Amino acid sequence: MLEALAVSIPIGKQAIVIGAGIGGLSAARALADYFEQVMVLERDTMPVAPIHRVGTPQAQHVHGLLASGLNALRALFPNFEQDLVQAGAVPLRAGLDVRVERPEFNPFPQRDLGWIGYSMSRPLLEHTVRQQLKGHRNIIVRQQCRAENVLATSDGGRVRAVQCENRDGTSELLTADIVIDASGRGNLTLALLKSTNRPRPEETVIGVDCHYTTALIAIPPTAPTDWKGVFTFPEAPASTCGALMLPIENNRWIATLGGRHGVSASGEWEGFLRYAKQLRTSTVYDAIKHCTPPERLPQFGFPESVWRHFERLPDLPIGLLPLGDAICRFNPVYGQGMSVAVQEASVLHRLLNARSALGDPLVGLSAAFFQEAVPLIEAPWAIAASLDFIYPQTRGERPANIEGAHKFGRALNRIAARDPAVHKLTIEVQHLLKPRGALLTPELVDRVQAEIAAVC
């Protein structure tokens, strides 16, 4: 439950959010309790229906929402879950409804782990969040409005305005007490740091060279009944070909075929099917081979994951806060980005609540924010990095003892296949509900070591 449902003390007149993606919309909700007006600037035309828009090209591909992200959205928007279901999101019982095919397990044991998640297109998710904001009269989403510059006071110490270009081409200066850069790229934040003589943040980069090709397919009446979705992992490191196919609204599958390091599925249907046929199992191919070909198969290349370490800078201009992908772009394969962005918005809300009675609540806000956001990012980043470096072509600093970590992971999976409690724990960690340390209890480490010894 949000802190502000109890008390909210106004902090300022106008908050500006750049970008109406998942991070920006969630941040707007967090700000709405503390600022008289929250203006969200979005360069796109916002569709009235849950359909694709150009500003988020990634939204045409499969977008899983982790349980931690769902929880954070529920906390920000009390009606979120019910509205999502009403809009057509497909409930999935964790551990049971998605057939997970790993090299040693085809499939991994399917069992009900006790909670429900939802599967839907990214446009539907975003649309549902936009609908939630309608209940907040002080939030204005200004569409076809491109933020061009964030301006600081003459001493560079504090943000004061955002310069934007409106749909008719006119330029406008909007004053702001706080500016959240949820533009995905974060270029305006970098430009402001430069113009106020601050250094650029250091970056950790992992070159993953992922490639996605996606088909939206009407689910045929002959679809298997023992699964609703399927996740086919590649035989790593020999192959990078994998697939994730999930059910979404309007009785469709969203099927994404992925590859890495130069391997990718074709953007035409025959080639797409050929790639599906070459996957480690025939599950996806068998399910889609007789389906009606979609009109188009969008593709997306994701060269590298990038984490900008704003937390290492001596300071940021007071009132400036990057959020979501503007801080960290995760490898999409692990489905973490949206969930982390929403959790960051929840952190923002909590901090505004805790600081609202201070003389100048915005002084020190960014430092306090990064203190909480960094651990939120660290966990998914480490999970992704460990798995990315299974491939020798992955670029960047390999985590220490990565071979040991992979051996540990494989043994843990074997235990999870046999033991429902361990299965549940691994999925909770993957969904960022529990810290990675939960997998390192002395008892579990002993069991994993015994498993490793037994296999050697």
Ligand X SMILES: Cc1cc2nc3c(=O)[nH]c(=O)nc-3n(C[C@H](O)[C@H](O)[C@H](O)COP(=O)(O)OP(=O)(O)OC[C@H]3O[C@@H](n4cnc5c(N)ncnc54)[C@H](O)[C@@H]3O)c2cc1C
| Chain residues that interact with ligand X, rule: CB under 6 A | 18-24, 41-44, 55-56, 58, 61-64, 146-147, 182-184, 212, 300, 302, 324-326, 332, 335-339, 341
Spatial separation of the C-alpha atoms in residues 36 and 19, rounded to whole Å: 19
Smallest gap from Cβ 360 to ligand X, in A, equals 27
Of 146 and 406, the one with the shorter C-beta distance to ligand X is 146
Of 80 and 408, the one with the shorter C-beta distance to ligand X is 80
Smallest gap from Cβ 185 to ligand X, in A, equals 6
Of 147 and 416, the one with the shorter C-beta distance to ligand X is 147
Smallest gap from Cβ 247 to ligand X, in A, equals 14
Tokens for 297? 């198969």
Residues near 41 by Cβ (< 8 Å), separated by ≥ 6? 16, 17, 18, 19, 20, 142, 145, 146, 147, 162, 164, 174
Of 24 and 50, the one with the shorter C-beta distance to ligand X is 24
Of 10 and 303, the one with the shorter C-beta distance to ligand X is 303
Of 21 and 242, the one with the shorter C-beta distance to ligand X is 21
Of 379 and 411, the one with the shorter C-beta distance to ligand X is 379
Q: For residue 109, is the peptide bond before it cis, meaning its omega torsion is within 30 degrees of 0? A: no
Smallest gap from Cβ 404 to ligand X, in A, equals 28
Of 44 and 83, the one with the shorter C-beta distance to ligand X is 44
* DSSP structure string for 373-416: HHHHHHHHHHHHHHHHTTSTT-BSPPPTTHHHHHHHHHHHHHHH
Given the structure tokens 């130069």, which residue do they identify?
A: 262
Of 95 and 324, the one with the shorter C-beta distance to ligand X is 324
Smallest gap from Cβ 281 to ligand X, in A, equals 21
Of 183 and 394, the one with the shorter C-beta distance to ligand X is 183
- What phi, psi does 171 have (nearest 5°)? -100, 145
The amino acid sitting at 165 is: E
Smallest gap from Cβ 300 to ligand X, in A, equals 4
DSSP reduced 3-state for 166: coil
∠ CA(321), CA(325), CA(331), 5° rounding? Answer: 150
Smallest gap from Cβ 335 to ligand X, in A, equals 4
* Strand duo 242-248 + 229-232: pairing: antiparallel
Spatial separation of the C-alpha atoms in residues 342 and 395, rounded to whole Å: 28
Smallest gap from Cβ 337 to ligand X, in A, equals 2
- Give kind and range of the element (H or E) at residue 348: helix 337-355
Q: How big, in percent rounded to 5, are the helix, strand and coil portions of the chain?
A: 35, 25, 40
Smallest gap from Cβ 447 to ligand X, in A, equals 31
Smallest gap from Cβ 97 to ligand X, in A, equals 16
DSSP letter (8 states) at residue 80:
H
Smallest gap from Cβ 362 to ligand X, in A, equals 21
Of 335 and 361, the one with the shorter C-beta distance to ligand X is 335
DSSP reduced 3-state for 333: helix
Spatial separation of the C-alpha atoms in residues 101 and 318, rounded to whole Å: 48
Given the structure tokens 């999976």, which residue do they identify?
A: 413
Tokens for 126? 């975003």
Helix 22-32 and helix 122-133: axis angle, to 10°?
A: 20
Of 18 and 208, the one with the shorter C-beta distance to ligand X is 18
Smallest gap from Cβ 109 to ligand X, in A, equals 23
DSSP letter (8 states) at residue 63:
-
- Give kind and range of the element (H or E) at residue 254: strand 252-260
- Give kind and range of the element (H or E) at residue 172: strand 171-175
| Contact indicator for 285, 279 with CB cutoff of 8 Å | yes
Residues near 90 by Cβ (< 8 Å), separated by ≥ 6? 118, 119, 120, 228, 246, 247, 248, 249
